Amino acid sequence: MAFALSKLKVTSSAFADHQSIPDQYTGVGDDVSPPLAWQGAPDGTQGYAVICHDPDAPLVKNGGYGFIHWLVYNLPGDVVELTEKSTAGTHGLNDFDRPGYAGPMPPESHGKHLYYFWVLALDQKTSLPEGLTMQELLKEIEPHLLGMNRLVGTYQR
C-alpha cells in the first residue's frame, strides 16, 4: 500500500495539532519525548512505528530532506500510546546519528518549523534491529503499511 493518510487519529496531551510544542520536549528544554496517543487503527493492525520529522530543516542527507528527530518501531499492535520519556519499542537513528529522541531546536531566527509526529500502522509485528535510519526503516515496513496519520506540532526559537 502506498503512503496515504488513514482514519488513524494521533493526539498528545502536551500540545494540540498545529500548536506550539512546549519547551520541555525541545532541545532548548529537557529534550524528552512528548506523550502521544492514537486511535482508529485500520483493521488487521499488528504493529506500529513512530517517526518525528521536521521537513523545514535546511538539510539534505542520504537522499532525504529535513531532519529526523525520532524513530521508534517494533511497537506491538496493542500499544496505543507512548508516555512522556517513553522507552517503549526499538529506536532508530535520528539525524544526530544516535538512537532515541532529539527534540526540536531549529536555528535561531529561522522561523516556525513544523514537526510531524507520524504513526504508521502495520499488518505484522516487527522485530527489526536497533539503529535503523529512516530510509532503512521505510524500506522494511512499507510493504506492511495499512495506514498512517500524524500530529503536527510547531516550534521556533
What's residue 1's pLDDT?
Answer: 41
DSSP 89: S
Mean pLDDT per 10-residue run, the chain (157 residues)?
A: 78 98 96 97 96 85 81 98 97 95 91 96 97 95 95 96
The dihedrals phi and psi of 154, each to the nearest 5 degrees, come to: -120, 155
Number of other residues whose CB lies within 10 A of the CB of residue 123: 18
3-state helix, strand, coil in the chain (%, to 5): 10, 40, 55
Task: Judge contact between 137 and 73, C-beta under 8 A.
Answer: yes
What's residue 34's pLDDT?
Answer: 98
Grid look-up 520519556 returns 85
Number of other residues whose CB lies within 10 A of the CB of residue 6: 18
List 82's β-bridge partners, or say none: 36
Which residue type is seen at 13?
Answer: S
Distance CA(77)–CA(135), nearest Å, equals 22
Q: Which CATH architecture has domain 9-155?
A: Alpha-Beta Complex (3.90)
